Structure 1
Amino acid sequence: MQDEDRKAIQNNFISLVEQTDLDVMVSSLYEKGVFSERMIEPYKDVSKDAKYRKRQLYLDVTRRGPQAFGHLLDALSENGYWDIVRDLDPNSSLHARRQRNPVPSTSVGSNEKNYVSLCTEKLKTKNATDVNKNPAPQAPRAPAAPARLPDPTTIPHFHVVKSTTFFENNDSDIPLYRTRGRRRGFLVVFSYVEFNNLEPYRNGVDVDCKNLKYLFDEIGFKVISYQDLTKSQTLETLKGLKEVVVGAECVFIVVSSHGYERPRSSDNDIRCKDGGLIAIRDIIDYFNNKNFPALQGVPKVFIFQLCRGNNEESVWRPGAETDGASRGASRGAPPAPAPPLLAPPDAPAPRDRVYSDILIAHSTVPGNVAYRDNAAGSWYIQALCEVFAARAHDCHVEKLFTLVDKRLHAAFLVQTSSVDRWGFNCRLYLHPGLYESQ
């Protein structure tokens, strides 16, 4: 392997270990002849930690000859890890060319070029799919046997409209969260598809994951994805995220699985690969101000794509409602720091609340099912990706979720999403494709 290729792997080693699926990559590299059947045995040794095995895998790739780097890029691309391909290979057809012509500054009396526009071009698929042409409502639980799914190498086709200027804070009552740096944010996806024959196979989830990865990569986020973890692996991963997302300006957590009502509770459980259940509240608690103080003041957005009960009721209403989404968006200067609380010199440290800066979006309301198309993905994620791609450049996140529900109703009629705010008291603009140069 050439030194520059080996160095590229070393520079992106954390992304490779954190974001890729071990079994998928071992299988792909074996099929491409990078490793023999005997050589992949150590990567299947479940007595060793999965991250350790992944580290060993990518170290071994650097020793597998001049063709190994190309095969690694192909394997990553085929399995949807396009952001890593772009980081590894600046000459890849998937690599976004960064625009270096900054737009005029919005600061009064300033001519500084203090921000630049990011990715402007991507490889897109030739055939587009109209979300309005999805079939009639299906049962929320897919058949156990996997259906024939779209080509896994297909890159999502939708266009993410980029921001050309930052929103400024002109509202002293509701300031803005800061989202201007290169560490714009992290998207962490937990998806559960297979359940050791305990639950039906969830067709369409792979489409959701690819669309979300593409969307948030275009916005400027780092994307980490985990699939089919056991309960213990999920909890350990949530705990380990403290070392990964710290320093980010905002964090999105997406959880997609079978979901269940909890008796005599407004909470819900999610199903893990081994059948274990985890309460939604327990997932959120990993990110509260007590357990993760480094994220206090940082917006944390949770998206739960799962059923919250078995209710499939709907009402008959003649006619159809049009999608009349409002196009207005307020602009607003970075929030001034809050004045310190005054206290006597010997007074104990002031207490603060455990939950803040948390927004929780559910694909459906309590007690109801969440529908999923076997080929096009879940209804809610379809609507979310469409709305965020088209409107994240001029809408704050709470408004985006309002438009998502309007789109969900316009396209599918029978499903209602919901949003909860836990001390989420600032406006969050994602500023897709835009960051400050310093």
Structure 2
Amino acid sequence: MHEKLQKLSSKDHSDSDCVAVAILSHGDDGIIYGTDGTTRVEELTEYFSGENCKTLVGKPKLFFLQACRGTEFDDGVLLKSSSDQTDAAPVPQRLPVQIDFLICYSTVPGYYSWRNPKNGSWFIQAICKVFDRYGKDMDVLQMMTKVSKTVAYSFESTTTSIRMHQKKQIPCTVSMLTKDFYFKPKTTPMET
């Protein structure tokens, strides 16, 4: 993972609008398991910080992490019946090195992340469904809210193990984005 991400971050991204990285693995709180050991999530995102990847400064860096973040199970709760601003601040001359990151975890810290052996992870299924349906119309944070709702409401574990039966999951999105981000098709000068 380090080798691939270091290679990706060293490219010239001047003509890129963003970078998106998806990692599907096993993990624990704050770490991802690789074939040759563990690594902290921050070590992977650091390749794209403003200090290390100058051509992505001011551009979104999206990370989608499908991995457990612990061993706790979410029992869920029974639900009872219930019924854009403009920032006028001047553009700063200096930007934070961690600016414009979006890190989307499949689950909250300390918890298990579910996957179906046939259909794959609940989180990745929801991302594919939501991004396919709303990708041209909604910004990425709106879509991640729909991903969270899809995982929370549409999935529940079904297993013969009483300890693992009827469990739930909720994704966790950490945003350092400074503007709305849409997956709009790029237009060339001839198309405009």
Larger radius of gyration: 1
> Structure 1 residues 340 and 375 mapped into 2: Cα distance closer, same or farther (>3 Å)?
closer
Percent identical among aligned pairs is: 30
Structure 1 CA distance, aligned partners of 2:9 and 2:77? Answer: 47
Give runs of aligned pairs for residues 5-404 of structure 1, distance below 5 A: 234-244=1-11, 246-247=13-14, 248-261=16-29, 268-274=30-36, 276-317=37-78, 351-404=94-147
What is the number of equivalent residue pairs in this alignment? 174
For structure 1, the 5+ residue unaligned runs are 1-233, 262-267, 322-329, 342-349
Structure 2 CA distance, aligned partners of 1:320 and 1:284? Answer: 41
TM-score (normalised: structure 2): 0.82
Q: Deviations over 1:28-64 (max 9, x none)?
A: xxxxxxxxxxxxxxxxxxxxxxxxxxxxxxxxxxxxx
More strand by share: 2
**Pairwise CA RMSD of aligned residues?**
2.5
Structure 2 CA distance, aligned partners of 1:391 and 1:340? Answer: 30
Shift of 1:242: 2.8
> Structure 1 residues 245 and 294 mapped into 2: Cα distance closer, same or farther (>3 Å)?
closer
**What amino acid does structure 2 have at the position aligned with 1:418?**
C
Query: Is the Cα contact below 8 Å between 2:12 and 2:55 reproduced in 1?
Result: no
Q: Which residue of 2 aligns with 1:40?
A: none
Q: Which residue of 1 aligns with 2:160?
A: none
> Structure 1 residues 320 and 399 mapped into 2: Cα distance closer, same or farther (>3 Å)?
same
Query: Is the Cα contact below 8 Å between 2:9 and 2:52 reproduced in 1?
Result: no
Query: Is the Cα contact below 8 Å between 1:302 and 1:360 reproduced in 2?
Result: yes
> Structure 1 residues 411 and 340 mapped into 2: Cα distance closer, same or farther (>3 Å)?
closer
Query: Is the Cα contact below 8 Å between 1:303 and 1:361 reproduced in 2?
Result: yes
For structure 2, the 5+ residue unaligned runs are 157-167
Q: Which residue of 2 aligns with 1:417?
A: 171
Shift of 1:253: 0.8
Q: Deviations over 1:177-228 (max 9, x none)?
A: xxxxxxxxxxxxxxxxxxxxxxxxxxxxxxxxxxxxxxxxxxxxxxxxxxxx
Shift of 1:404: 0.5
Shift of 1:352: 3.8
> Structure 1 residues 319 and 376 mapped into 2: Cα distance closer, same or farther (>3 Å)?
farther
> Structure 1 residues 316 and 429 mapped into 2: Cα distance closer, same or farther (>3 Å)?
closer
Moved over 3 A (4+): 318-321, 338-341
Helix, strand or coil: the match of 2:48? coil
Q: Which residue of 2 aligns with 1:154?
A: none
